[in-house]
Amino acid sequence: MKNVMVAKFQPGQQNCPLTRLETYMKAQVENSLEVGWSPKDIIVLTNFDFEFMGIKARRISFIYPSLLCSKIFAVYDLFKNGYVNEELWVHDLDAWQNSWFDCPQFKDVGICKYLRSTFNGGSVFYKPEAKDIVAILSFLLRKIKGSEEPTLSRVLEVAAYKHRVTILNSTYNLGCCNFTERYIKSDQPIRVCHFHPEVPKGAQIHLLGRNSLNTKTVDKRLERLIRRYFNVPSALGIKAKEP
């Protein structure tokens, strides 16, 4: 299995400057190495130069301007050009692996849902056999100029592809919305905690356990790493250091 991370820099995006992207990427690379990934199994795809702790990004050209579709196009690039022939775990830069996990069992696509019916695109597993599905997703995103998650639902729910999709336990993608219900249904410990560390809501729920269950999702190792990289709001009583 390969650990795939995608970062697209788009000049003019004030809420996502290059420095912020690089901080997330460095934290993700270090976290991946800490939990046990081999450097050869970490794939970072960007449209700018990046190298950290021996992991060098491969530059690609994104064919659609939206930041919300970068992962689909990156996976399409990997499959189309024959760069990989094994399972991929493709996740957002704010989806944090809490501890080591082996590749879960899934059909051609393994994906979590939000509390109800919508697919959650922040942490998805693909097999090479899903190349045709990824190609269709890429085509639709270009044609309708949509965003990733509605397009995932549009494709993966139809009869032609639904039987090739495995709905995974939310332990592989636990975010902040409907936290209590999703946590209760998740296998423990949580494998992937999905939140922005510098945003108060995410820090409160995941780092401090300020939720209805009074439960922290991140382990001590991951919390130490996050504290080093991010300016967690001082109102939460957490001090951050420069990486």
* Stretch among 158-167, 169-178, 199-208 having the lowest mean pLDDT: 199-208
User: What confidence tens digit (pLDDT) does each residue in 49-63 have?
Assistant: 999 999 999 998 876
Exposure of 76 in the CB half-sphere (CA atoms within 13 A): 20
Q: At what angle do helices 18-35 and 220-229 cross, to 10 degrees?
A: 160
Give the Cα separation of 222 and 192 in Å (integer). Answer: 11
User: What confidence tens digit (pLDDT) does each residue in 61-94 have?
Assistant: 876 655 555 899 899 999 988 999 999 999 999 9
Domains annotated on the chain, with CATH: 2-168 (3.90.550.10)
DSSP for 58-94, please give it. Answer: EE---SS--GGGHHHHHHHHHHHTT---S-EEEE-TT
Strands 58-59 and 42-46: parallel
At 193 the pLDDT is 98
Q: How many residues does the chain have?
A: 243
Give the Cα separation of 189 and 82 in Å (integer). Answer: 35
User: What confidence tens digit (pLDDT) does each residue in 167-181 have?
Assistant: 999 999 999 999 999
At 147 the pLDDT is 79
The pTM score is 0.92
At 142 the pLDDT is 80
Provide the CA 157 distance to its chain's centre, in angstroms.
21
Strands 109-113 and 119-126: antiparallel
Q: At what angle do helices 131-144 and 148-156 cross, to 10 degrees?
A: 130
First to last CA, the chain: 28
Give the Cα separation of 18 and 71 in Å (integer). Answer: 18
DSSP for 164-199, please give it. Answer: TEEE--GGGSB-STTHHHHHHTS-SS-SEEE--TTS
Give the Cα separation of 139 and 82 in Å (integer). Answer: 18
